[in-house]
Amino acid sequence: MKQSLIITSILFCVNTGFSQVHNHALGLRFRTSPHLNIRNTELSYQIGLNQKNRLEIGLNYGQGGFDSFKYRHLSSSIYYQHVMNIRGGLNWYVGAGLKYDLSQYIVNNVSQFHHQFSAGPTIGLEYDFNHKNIPLLLSLDYRPSLVYSPSFQGNAYIQNQFGLALRYTFKDKPNSN
C-alpha cells in the first residue's frame, strides 16, 4: 500500500509538468441546477493566465415553468482554475470561484425578483483534442457552492452543480509563461 502511494505520487508529479492552458477557449457549458430541478446552458469563455492557470467566465440565461409558475434566470460567474496533466490530452483541474444570480419568479401572475451570491470550489476533468490537431476541449466538472440569498430571508445553503462543456480553442499557441 505504501509503495503504491509513493509510485502514484511520483507519477502525479511527473505528469503534472506537461499540461498547457490555451490563451482563449469559447463554448457552452451544460449545467444542472438542482434547486429548480432544471438544466440550462452557460456561455463559457476561458482565458489563459499562464501555462497552468486560467480564468473561466460564464454567462447564463434560463427560463421555464408550468401552469401558474414561471421563472427567468440570469447568472454570471468567474472561476480561477489550476490545470494539471494526467496523460496526453487528459487533464484535471481545481480552483475556486464566485457567482451572482438574478431570478424573476411569476406565481399566479405576481412577479418577484430574487438575487443570490455563491462561492465555492471547482474540480474537473477535461480532454484537450488539440494534441490530435482538433481545436476542441471537452470537460466534466463539479461545483459545490455556499449560496447566500438575501431575497430569501438571508438564508445560506449548499448547492451542488455538475457541468459538461464543449469549447473551441482558438488557433493560438498555448501559454508558455
pLDDT in tens, 86-123: 999 999 999 999 999 998 888 888 898 888 999 999 99
- Cell 401552469, located at residue: 67
Using DSSP, state whether 23 is helix, strand or coil: coil
pLDDT in tens, 149-176: 887 677 888 989 999 999 999 976 545 5
Output the pTM of the full model: 0.80
Instruction: Identify the CATH class of 2-169.
Output: mainly beta
